């Protein structure tokens, strides 16, 4: 059997940005979430999650920047995934975005200019806004899947969910390619 010449994805960055809430409103706090799935259960319960105040046990997925308000320039949250270092037990990583509900029940339509970008080096792989799922409280945006040659590829899985952060992890694995 001949091995593939495709290097696949190695290290990717996920950026999330949104506009701050208007003065007098509770801050809008959105979070990037990465859910890892094993080869034995690629669509079931995640083996582990990476989100605010956490990183993967082996350090391959790290939240580099966390915002609770959306204030500042550029992307408010940034997560790095070193897919080429992820153990061979893992076959899938799903990337999602969820809105913290501490300021009342918020949906993407309540938050201004929500956007996500996924890139490798300086090449944008995906850019997406959330205007077409205004009633969702959480959404998956992409999955990274390891193929039979152990290379990683990205697939868009843009799907909104009526799930708060506490239940979003339970449904992330059910999302499929667009």
Domain for residue 122, yes or no? yes
Domain for residue 20, yes or no? yes
- The pLDDT tens digits of the residues spanning 63-104 come to 988 788 888 778 999 999 999 999 999 999 999 999 998 877
Domain for residue 4, yes or no? no
**Residues 6-36: b if buried by 16+ CB within 10 A, e if exposed:** eebbeebbbbbbbebbeeeeeebbbbbbbbb
Domain for residue 3, yes or no? no
- pTM recorded for the entire structure: 0.91
Name the pLDDT band for 145 (thresholds 50, 70, 90): very high
Q: Which of 59, 75, 58, 70 is nearest to 13 (CA)?
A: 75
Beta sheet of 115-120, edge-to-edge order = 61-65, 77-82, 11-17, 115-120, 123-129
Q: Give the Cα separation of 153 and 10 in Å (integer).
A: 9
Domain for residue 85, yes or no? yes
What is the residue range of 109's domain?
A: 11-172
| Structural tokens at position 176 | 């499929």
Q: CATH number, domain at 131?
A: 2.60.60.30
Domain for residue 1, yes or no? no
Q: Which of 133, 135, 132, 154 is nearest to 144 (CA)?
A: 154
Chain-wide mean pLDDT for the chain?
Answer: 90
Q: Give the Cα separation of 159 and 176 in Å (integer).
A: 8
**Based on the structure, what is the number of domains in the chain?**
1
Q: Give the Cα separation of 78 and 117 in Å (integer).
A: 9
């Amino acid at each position: 059997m001949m091995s593939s010449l495709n290097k696949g994805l190695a290290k990717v960055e996920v950026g999330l940005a949104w506009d701050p809430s208007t003065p007098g409103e509770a801050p809008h706090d959105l979070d990037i979430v990465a859910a890892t799935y094993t080869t034995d259960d690629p669509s079931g319960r995640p083996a582990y999650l990476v989100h605010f105040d956490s990183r993967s046990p082996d350090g391959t997925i790290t939240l580099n920047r966390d915002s609770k308000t959306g204030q500042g320039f550029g992307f408010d949250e940034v997560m790095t995934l070193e897919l080429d270092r992820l153990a061979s037990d893992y076959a899938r990583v799903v990337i999602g975005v969820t809105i913290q509900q501490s300021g009342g029940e918020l949906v993407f339509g309540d938050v201004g200019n929500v956007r996500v970008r996924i890139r490798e080096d300086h090449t944008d792989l995906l850019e997406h806004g959330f205007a077409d799922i205004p009633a969702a409280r959480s959404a998956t945006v992409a999955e990274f899947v390891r193929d039979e040659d152990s290379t990683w590829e990205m697939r868009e899985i843009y799907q909104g969910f009526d799930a708060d952060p506490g239940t979003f992890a339970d449904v992330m694995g059910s999302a499929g390619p667009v």
